[in-house]
Amino acid sequence: MYYRSINEVLKAQYGCKVYKLALDGGFTCPNRDGTLGTRGCIFCGGDGSGAFAAAGPDVAAQLAAAKARVAAKGGKKFIAYFQSFTSTYGPVERLRSLYEAAMAPDDVVALSVATRPDCLPEPVLDLLEELNWKKPVWVELGLQTIHEATAQYIRRGWELPVFDRAVAELKRRGVTVIVHVILGLPGETREQILETVDYVGRSGADGVKFQLLHVLDDTDLYVDYVAGKFRTLELEEYAALLADCVRHTPPQMVIHRLTGDGYKKHLAAPLWSGDKKRTLNTINQYFQDHDVIQGQK
Ligand code: SF4
C-alpha cells in the first residue's frame, strides 16, 4: 500500500466497494448568480464543477438512475454526493429536504456535500451536525490553492482565513472534511503546490482530493490557454508532482482522488487526461518505480 486510499478505507469499513452517486441539487454559486460574480471561477465549466451529475431536482429518481449505472459492477452500498456547483447554497429547509431524501435509503451509508467555505452559515453547520448523528456526513471544500495571487486569478472569491474557520467549525461538529486541491494552476511552482499540500495536511481536515487542472473549452481559462499564457502538465510531469504531493500528505489523511475527471465533451487540455485508465496506470507505475509512500516527507 503506497497511500491511504478512500476505496481501501471504505472497503475495510463496509466489507465491499462503496460507490459514490453524483447528485445535482439544482444549486447555483455566489460566483455565478451575481452575488460575487457572474462568470464563475476561471476554470469552472458552464455545467458546474459536477459536470457528470444527473440533471433534475428529484433526488430519489437521481439516486435510482445513478445506482442503475453501477448495477453491473455489483454496487451494494453507496455515498450520496451532491456534487454540482455549491451544494450548501440555499435555504436551510430546502437543504434539509434534499439531504434527508438522499440519506434515506438503507444502502446509502453516507452523505457527501461539495461546497465553498464561505457558504457554511451557522444554520447549515447545525443541520450538517444533526444529520451527521444519523449517518456520516462529509463536506468537500474546494480550496484549490493557499496562494492569494492564484486565488485572485482563478476568481475564487474568498480568502484563506475563511477556509480555516470552515474547517474548524465543521470539525468542532464532528463532520468529516475533505479538501480539494488543483495541481498545475497557472503560475504556480512545484514548491508552491507542496506548500498548499502541507497546509492542508496541518489544517485538521480528514481527507484530500488531488485534481489535475483541466482546461475546458467553455471557460475563461481556455481563452488564456489559447493565448499561450500558460501550459498544462504532461502525464509524466503530473505523476512526478503527484508523487511529491502524496509524500507530503500526512499518513493518517485519506486520499480520495489522484486526478480529476475532465468533462470529455469540453476538454481542451491536457488531452491525455481523457484516457483515465492510461493515466492511473502511469501514476501507479511511477509510484512503484519510485517507492512513493504517503507521509514520507
Ligand atoms: S465555486 Fe465551484 S461552482 Fe462556483 S464557480 Fe467556482 S468551481 Fe464553479
pLDDT one-digit tens code per residue, 196-253? 999 999 999 999 999 999 999 999 999 999 999 999 999 999 999 999 999 999 999 9
pLDDT at 277 over 70: yes
Q: Quote the distance between the C-alpha of residue 286 and its chain's center.
A: 23
Average pLDDT on 149-174 reads 98
Whether 210 contacts 242, CB under 8 Å: yes
For residue 154, being part of any structural domain is answered with yes
Per-residue pLDDT at 262: 60
Q: Which atom of ligand 1 is nearest to the CA of 114?
A: 2
What is the torsion angle, in degrees rounded to the nearest 10, for the CA atoms of residue 276, residue 277, residue 279 and residue 280? 110
Ligand 1 centroid to residue 83 C-alpha, Å = 11
Rounded CA-CA distance 30/24 in Å is: 17
Name the closest-CA residue to atom 3, ligand 1. Answer: 85
The protein residue with its alpha carbon nearest to ligand 1, atom 7, reads 44
Provide the terminal-to-terminal Cα distance of the chain, rounded to the nearest Å. 17
Give which of 78, 271, 41, 26 is closest to 156, Cα–Cα: 41
* Ligand 1 pocket: which of 44, 88, 153, 221 to mutate (most atoms within 8 A of CB): 44
- Asked if 87 and 25 count as a contact pair (C-beta separation under 8 A), the reply is yes
pLDDT digits (tens, 9 = 90+) for 32-71: 999 999 999 999 987 655 444 544 569 999 999 999 998 8
The answer on pLDDT for 271 being more than 60 is: yes
Instruction: Indicate the pTM of the whole model.
Output: 0.95
DSSP 226: H
Q: Peptide bond preceding 121: is omega within 30 degrees of 0, i.e. cis?
A: no
Q: 297 in a domain, yes or no?
A: no
Per the prediction, the chain carries an average pLDDT of 94
pLDDT of 1 over the 80 cut? no
Cross-strand partners of 82? 23, 113
In a domain, 296, yes or no: no
Q: How far is the CA of 86 from the centre of ligand 1 (A)?
A: 7
- Domain limits at 185? 6-289
CB 257 within 8 Å of CB 210: yes
- Residue 1 inside a domain? The answer is no
Q: Which atom of ligand 1 lies closest to the CA of 30?
A: 4
Question: Ligand 1: which atom is nearest the Cα of residue 29?
Answer: 4
In a domain, 113, yes or no: yes
pLDDT digits (tens, 9 = 90+) for 119-145: 999 999 999 999 999 999 999 999 999
Q: What's the full length of the chain, in residues?
A: 297
Distance CA 114, CA 138 (A): 8
Return the percentage of the chain with pLDDT > 90, whole number.
Answer: 89
Q: State the distance from the centre of ligand 1 to the C-alpha of 150, rounded, in angstroms.
A: 15
Pocket of ligand 1 (CB under 6 A): 29, 31-32, 40-41, 44, 48-49, 85-86, 116, 142
Does residue 161 lie within any of the structural domains? yes
Give the residue ranges of DSSP H helices in the chain: 6-14, 59-70, 92-103, 122-132, 148-153, 160-172, 190-202, 220-226, 235-248, 276-289
Locus of grid cell 488543483: 182
- At 82, the amino acid letter reads F
Rounded CA gap, 249 and 180, in Å?
13
What number does the ligand 1 atom closest to the CA of 84 have?
Answer: 3
For the record, the C-alpha cell of 240 comes out as: 512526478
| Angle between helices 160-172 and 122-132 in degrees, nearest 10 | 40
Cβ contact 46:296 at 8 Å: no
What is the predicted pLDDT for the residue at 49?
Answer: 52
Distance 291 CA to ligand 1 centre (A): 36
pLDDT at position 239 is 98
Residue closest by Cα to atom 8 of ligand 1: 44
Residue 155, in any domain of the structure: yes
- Among protein residues, the one with the nearest Cα to ligand 1's atom 5 is 40
Interatomic CA distance for residues 139 and 209, integer angstroms: 12
- Whole-number percent of the chain with pLDDT over 70: 95
| Residue 80 falls inside a structural domain | yes
Number of domains in the chain: 1
For residue 138, what is the DSSP state?
E
Q: What pLDDT shows up at residue 52? A: 47
CA 196–ligand 1 middle distance (angstroms): 19
Q: Which residue lies with its CA nearest to atom 2 of ligand 1? A: 85
- Looking at residue 48, what is its pLDDT? 54
CATH of the domain at 200: 3.20.20.70
The pLDDT score that the predictor gives to residue 249 is 98
CB 48 within 8 A of CB 55: no
For every residue of 33-90, DSSP letters joined together read: SSSS-SS-STT--TT-S-TTSPSSS-HHHHHHHHHHHHGGGT--EEEEEE-SS-TT-S
Best residue among 24, 29, 119 to mutate for probing ligand 1, ranked by most atoms within 8 Å of CB: 29
Amino acid (one-letter) located at 237: E
277 C-alpha to center of ligand 1: Å? Answer: 27
